[in-house]
A and B are shown apart, each in its own frame.
Chain A
């Protein structure tokens, strides 16, 4: 038991990797408000908030990778595993749906651009096309 506890503590000490909000851009369909609070973004991506200023919103995810990790770290505060489990718990209790996810920035942008209320994220260096960049306050 002592070894397990030691391993847990050692692992925790080396866990954090430096990521920041600058590594990702939060984007939205043109019908979504241009400014959102960080709390709004977190609630939207946890499925707890489905409208902003009267507009229905829906989160769109990257399937994985550094942008996805950076977004979760900066805005949601959950590990990828915990984030997936959160949505699985909603899906398997009937309280929510699994969000759409896409493998590349281009696919995320294409879906967000064509879907009313869609909010997603792409890498910090991605050139935006057909979507609105959200200023997260």
Chain B
């Protein structure tokens, strides 16, 4: 753990939080460009992870690691009554992932004709399940780590955003509540510093060029007449292809994924201080290799979680979740190399409206398949995997 970097970051976060404590409760960092108000908001998070069993998320967590930093900064303006413009940059350094590189997280023009119909064009966060588009914003959640069976932090870029267009809107169903929809299509950008590449490189593969991925999908969520209840369904269907080299193969291998379909079924109940959520996720991936060194395959993976949290007062929130992931549903889920189960308990302390600290315990069983690494990587566990991992995560963040 780099103490000096962590100390500097901690000092900066504390200073920022104290400075913000004297501003209005709903942070309004803004300036004028002509007669238009431009809002500026940002966040920075720092995590510390200690584990037994296995190293997690490419960090050396068994020795304790503070290599878990991320942050975002955005600018946005309501250019006209219907047109909204904005962009956000995001950077993260999670073990060997991210490497602190700045990336455009989203940047789009949003033209809202009315509440029933609007369009967004540019790089847009993908609406998928409960938290896909907000998974980086840990300050929104009770948890230091979202349930990794559905929202693997290392694989975020596989679904996080697309460069293309969305159509969206909301319809009233009168006494039956309301229905919100998003339909989208676009290119899913390659993340050269993400877990997908890292896991394949772990196995000695080398990428030639970028991973080209295109996708389309929809998300619909029903706000029920029961106060606080939302349920929904999302579908993302993508296809991608990539070229890799493998040490044992004399020529490059072309990997064609004509269909990668992600489905999410989810629900959330939030009333006053209590919140319950659940999500079921299924991913089906069809793969063809050229030359055909292995038969065409279609693999189906499933993950789900249930969670509950309660806010005791303005400063303290407690919660727990159970998360499961099965890599290949056709194989025995009891096998450690085919499942990851996680029971987590969490406490969140809001020191003020801008600064919070979370302490979270994880009791993880299984480590998944290294061919499709998810959290547990061969490179950071060179002596093999333990079947159980106990983990303490402390994460703090400042938002303005």
Contacts and interface: CB of A to CB of B under 8 A. Distances in A.
A85 B78 CA distance: 20
Interface in A98-115: 98-103
A84 B24 CA distance: 13
A16 B227 CA distance: 15
B232 to A, nearest CB: 15
B318 interface: yes
B355 to A, nearest CB: 13
Contact of A98 (B26, B88, B110, B311): B26
B114 A91 contact: no
A30 to B, nearest CB: 19
A115 to B, nearest CB: 12
Given A12-B273, A98-B26, A92 B39 contact: no
Contacts of B201: none
Instruction: Label chain B's interface by main secondary structure.
Output: strand
Interface in B38-87: 39, 41, 43, 72, 74, 76, 78, 81, 84, 86-87
A81 B76 contact: no
Given A56-B81, A89-B137, A12 B125 contact: no
Nearest to A94: B86
A20 interface: no
Contacts of B76: 91, 94, 97
A79 B272 contact: yes
B222 to A, nearest CB: 14
Given A4-B318, A88-B140, A89-B134, A79 B311 contact: yes
Q: Which of A49, A77, A82, A103 has the most CB of B within 10 A?
A: A82
B243 interface: no
A92 B318 contact: no
Nearest to B228: A77
Contacts of B133: 93
B26 A77 contact: no
B306 to A, nearest CB: 13
A94 B108 contact: yes
A48 B115 contact: yes
Given A92-B41, A92-B88, A49 B115 contact: yes
Interface residues of B, number: 55
A61 B137 contact: no
Interface string A71-90: 00100011111101101110
Contact of B320 (A4, A56, A101): A4
Contact of A91 (B39, B81, B343): B39
A61 B115 CA distance: 22
A72 B86 CA distance: 28
A135 interface: no
B170 A92 contact: no
Interface of A: 1, 4-5, 7-8, 11-12, 15-16, 39, 43, 48-51, 56, 61, 63-64, 73, 77-82, 84-85, 87-89, 91-95, 97-103
Name the 7 nearest CB pairs between A and B, nearest first: A63-B25, A101-B26, A8-B310, A94-B86, A64-B25, A93-B125, A85-B140
Interface of B: 24-28, 39, 41, 43, 72, 74, 76, 78, 81, 84, 86-88, 106-108, 110, 112, 114-115, 124-125, 133-134, 137, 139-140, 170, 172, 227-228, 270-275, 308-312, 314, 317-318, 320, 343, 345, 350, 353, 399
12 contacts: A12-B273, A49-B115, A50-B112, A61-B26, A63-B25, A73-B272, A79-B272, A81-B314, A81-B317, A81-B350, A84-B353, A92-B74
